[in-house]
Amino acid sequence: MDQHEHHSRLFKVGGAQVSRFEDMRLITGNGKYSSDWNAPGQLHACFLRSDRAHARIVSINFDKVGQIKGVVGVYTGADAQAAGYLRPPSFLPPTGKGGMKARVPERPCLAIGKVRFVGDPVAMVIAETHLAALDACDLIDVVYEDLPAVVDPEEALKPGAPQLHDDVPGNCPVEAESGVEAPVMEAIAKAAHVTKITVDCTRVTASPMEPRAALIEYTADTDSYVVHTPSQGVNMTRKQFATYANLGEDKFRVEIQDVGGGFGQRSTVYPEYVSMMMAAKALQRPIKWVSTRTESFLTDTHGRANLITATLALDKNAQFTGLRIDWITDQGAYLSPTGPAGHIRNATSCMNGVYNIPALYGHFKVVLTNTGWVAAYRGAGRPDIAYAIERVVDAAALELNMDPADLRRRNYLALSDYPYKSATGSTIEIADLPGLSAKALALADWSGFEARKAASARKGKLRGIGMSAVIEPTGAGSYPRDEIDISVDGEGQVTVHTVAHSQGQGHETSFAMVVAEALGIATERVKIRQGDADRAPHMVGNHTGGSRSMVGAGTVCHIAANKLIDAGKSLAAEDLGVEPSQVSYGKGEFTSAHSKKKITLAQLAAKKTLAAKGEGTFISTFPNGCHIAEVEIDPETGITEIASYLSVDDCGHVVSHTIVEGQMHGAVVQGLGQVFGEHIVYDKESGQMLTGTFMDYIMPRAGKLKSIQMEEYTTLSKLGPLGIKGMGGSGCTASLPALVNAVVNALGVRHLDMPLTPSKVWKTIQQTNVKH
């Protein structure tokens, strides 16, 4: 089935094709993103940042800033110290391997005593205009005493490496383990074949198109703050502000509307924001700051940055008997809230991938380097572990001279093996990779590849094919439950409140579809309100992250709608002159067969308060899929073209095919970006970032991936009433290994680290030609 047919199926609500509800304001210029908020009397902040990777701050002289008209104040680390804004939250488990106590360093909102990466904020200037603040930053003299810097995580772990933090010896905040080491070592010792591979899941940056921004207002009466800043959920943002600033969550009101992309980068409350709190309070005026893109590259949380060694043991029948993962996770100069915790937890959860591997062991070393900090990024460890597994499986197939599809087939868990208790302790609910991948291989005509390869060769092109078979956990949250408030007004309009916040995922449409279906009414009658500033503090729920919102908040929309129907039956019984048990509901009407009366939602809500609260607690669901890519490489230029891309995915029950397909497109192309161009690079000597603009950091452009042949193969999750599995990140998890496997196959090499730029591919072709 081609995509056009898919699209025609979707967004058919009540027979009429509708666009997303959020679209109208976004296509007419009426969206409201963080930099669009302004407040009367606002001042502007600008940050002076470290221009070196590692140095002691000897002195900061800002006498000259008075030359600039409109400068109101300068803040430095001394102010951060006085305010006590020293420690962002960290979700790192407190103990690691062998009871090792995690060492979480301070991160003052403005550097105190030392700078640790290029971009570390040293001073904040506040002025009447943005340009005045910018000019004043140029007049601040900072005297530094340079220290040796280390930007490579393996170097940072060596004895004698420059030390970033006095209280983090060896630059290692924690080592962690999953699974049990001895059985894996035994499997490796007894193996008929062992394949070992080290893959660099490179450092990249999320690059949502909306740069970070904030407007922070102080309210003296209540000693509290109003915050407007990009967020993945206002309660998570309030919680992080509260932790960083040592205040109660009730001191923060977060008001936001549209968020210009997230991908995990918005899951952090940044030091700039709490620095601005100091000025907002001291000056009693709102403070606004908008990041430049170069500041984004330097200081937004980066993603991935994992160096992973996978050692796979196979018996004489090519059955996997054990897998050891040694993982170095570079976290940059400080620990972000979500960084190391997500990487370790998510990698542990599906360390067996889609395979039956009886023995698993993971060893994680968290490392600090003189680079930008790292956090969750579209998958947060899920794509990384899948990349390592799917690369080691392909390398094993190459070494054993086996078809990679056949090696996978021999090792897939069967549908009947689920729920599967993995050797790292997770219970993986359901998947059917034998069936799913068979569909993918047939659709991609895997067995006909040699003919296509020969055809490409006749054109002078190198053709390669690669597959990935992946699974990942999504749904478990960090809050005890997800709540949804639902109410109906006298016009019959349904209002639904959630604290999960879309950054482009389209909750206003997909959540409305869930509610409308449950209530049997038109989707247009359902209004989704996300993160309402007044209501959110009284609601419990997770932010939108880890592909979980449809599993959590979306499912609770269904639960809440049904609770509303139950509540309505009790209220309607009186009007209908019957017992509540004698009231039926359907299509917006309560009816009674006994009294032959009816009352609509609107009529009932006009008389009585018609509202309900739904709630639910969810554990992980496991979306999975098989992606197959074919590439064609021009050996003259090293340029890789995607000849075809096919995906078969199991996302459980799909609410909106249009939105799911859109998420899949975006996720696959984000993976493609990392495979072919994106890479945050630091100079090893100076620690300067070499990729600080879109001219140096190669984002995917239109046409690199022309189309995806997209198919579904569904097994329903029984963990929630709707059978949904989370999705959003899974396309990225699948595309990294599928594309790298295809290029490696085309080149006939064992492995090549990302990014697979034309120059790297061309050089590889030259080298292998020499060898041959």
Partner 1 sequence: MAKVELKINGKQHSFDVEDRTLLVNLIRDHAQLTGTHVGCDTSQCGACTIHMNGMAVKSCTVLAGQANGADITTIEGMAKDGKLHPVQQAFTECHALQCGFCTPGMIMAVSGFLKDNPKPTDDEIYHGLEGNLCRCTGYINIVKAVKQAAKAMSK
Binding residues vs partner 1 (CB under 8 A): 7, 17, 19-20, 22-24, 26-33, 35-36, 131, 206-211, 258-263, 290, 292-294, 503-506, 658-659, 661-663, 665-670, 672, 693-695, 699-708
Rounded to the nearest 10 degrees, the angle between the axes of helix 271-283 and helix 234-245 is: 70
Which residue, 196 or 293, has its beta carbon nearer to partner 1? 293
193-205 β-sheet, strand order: 174-179, 360-367, 320-330, 302-314, 193-205
Which residue, 567 or 667, has its beta carbon nearer to partner 1? 667
Rounded to the nearest 10 degrees, the angle between the axes of helix 555-576 and helix 507-519 is: 40
Which residue, 190 or 706, has its beta carbon nearer to partner 1? 706
Q: How far is the CB of 65 from partner 1 (least distance, A)?
A: 18
Which residue, 24 or 192, has its beta carbon nearer to partner 1? 24
Which residue, 293 or 760, has its beta carbon nearer to partner 1? 293
Contact yes or no for 136/68 (Cβ under 8 A):
yes
SS3 state at 665: helix
Which residue, 293 or 597, has its beta carbon nearer to partner 1? 293
CA-to-CA separations, 367 to 92, 174, 306, 688, 760, in angstroms, rounded? 13, 8, 10, 19, 28
Which residue, 58 or 131, has its beta carbon nearer to partner 1? 131
Contact yes or no for 610/571 (Cβ under 8 A):
yes
Phi-psi region of 321 (alpha: psi -120 to 50; beta: other; left: phi over 0): alpha
Q: Give start and end residues of each alpha helix (H) in 586-652.
A: 601-607
Angle at 273 between CA 268 and CA 279, to 5 degrees: 165
Q: How far is the CB of 662 from partner 1 (least distance, A)?
A: 5
Q: Give the Cβ contact number of residue 702 at 10 Å.
A: 7
Which residue, 37 or 75, has its beta carbon nearer to partner 1? 37
Rounded to the nearest 10 degrees, the angle between the axes of helix 404-411 and helix 433-443 is: 160
Place of tokens 């599993």: 551
Which residue, 482 or 678, has its beta carbon nearer to partner 1? 678
Per-residue tokens: 90: 């960290």
Q: How far is the CB of 449 from partner 1 (least distance, A)?
A: 24
The pairing of strands 12-13 and 16-17 is antiparallel
Query: Which uninterrupted H or E stretch holds 441?
Result: helix 433-443
Q: How far is the CB of 554 from partner 1 (least distance, A)?
A: 17
Q: How far is the CB of 575 from partner 1 (least distance, A)?
A: 40
Q: Which of 276, 258, 267, 252 is nearest to 301 (CA)?
A: 267
Q: How far is the CB of 25 from partner 1 (least distance, A)?
A: 8
Which residue, 281 or 293, has its beta carbon nearer to partner 1? 293
SS3 state at 121: strand
Which residue, 214 or 599, has its beta carbon nearer to partner 1? 214
Q: How far is the CB of 557 from partner 1 (least distance, A)?
A: 20
**Dist CA 38 CA 27 (whole Å):** 21
CA dihedral in degrees (676, 680, 684, 689; nearest 10)?
A: 130
Q: How far is the CB of 639 from partner 1 (least distance, A)?
A: 14
Q: How far is the CB of 229 from partner 1 (least distance, A)?
A: 15
Which residue, 470 or 601, has its beta carbon nearer to partner 1? 470
Give burial (CB, 10 Å; 0-12/13-18/19+) of 53.
buried
**What residue type is assigned to position 345 of the chain?**
R
Q: How far is the CB of 611 from partner 1 (least distance, A)?
A: 31
Q: How far is the CB of 322 from partner 1 (least distance, A)?
A: 37
Which residue, 561 or 669, has its beta carbon nearer to partner 1? 669
Q: How far is the CB of 652 from partner 1 (least distance, A)?
A: 21
DSSP state for residue 338 in the 8-state scheme:
S
**Dist CA 149 CA 164 (whole Å):** 8
Q: Give start and end residues of each alpha helix (H) in 520-639.
A: 555-576, 601-607
**Dist CA 414 CA 750 (whole Å):** 29
CA-to-CA separations, 134 to 67, 111, 127, 761, in angstroms, rounded? 13, 19, 9, 42
Per-residue tokens: 141: 């003299």
Largest CA distance in the chain: 90
**Dist CA 481 CA 616 (whole Å):** 6
Which residue, 7 or 56, has its beta carbon nearer to partner 1? 7
**Dist CA 474 CA 380 (whole Å):** 11
Q: How far is the CB of 32 from partner 1 (least distance, A)?
A: 7
DSSP-derived secondary structure for 42-74: -EEEEEEE-SSSSEEEEEEE-GGGGGSTTEEEE
Which residue, 196 or 704, has its beta carbon nearer to partner 1? 704
Establish how many alpha carbons lie within 13 A of residue 734's alpha carbon, considering only the half-sphere containing its beta carbon: 34
Q: Which of 499, 528, 504 is nearest to 516 (CA)?
A: 528
Per-residue tokens: 564: 């509303």
Per-residue tokens: 117: 């990466």
Q: How far is the CB of 157 from partner 1 (least distance, A)?
A: 33
Q: Which of 517, 523, 525 is nearest to 586 (CA)?
A: 517
Q: How far is the CB of 286 from partner 1 (least distance, A)?
A: 15
SS3 state at 433: helix
Q: How far is the CB of 656 from partner 1 (least distance, A)?
A: 9
Q: Give backbone dihedrals phi and psi of 15, rounded to 5 degrees, phi first.
A: 85, -15
Which residue, 3 or 600, has its beta carbon nearer to partner 1? 3
Q: How far is the CB of 628 from partner 1 (least distance, A)?
A: 17
Q: How far is the CB of 509 from partner 1 (least distance, A)?
A: 10
Which residue, 290 or 443, has its beta carbon nearer to partner 1? 290
Which residue, 207 or 591, has its beta carbon nearer to partner 1? 207
Place of tokens 């620690």: 687
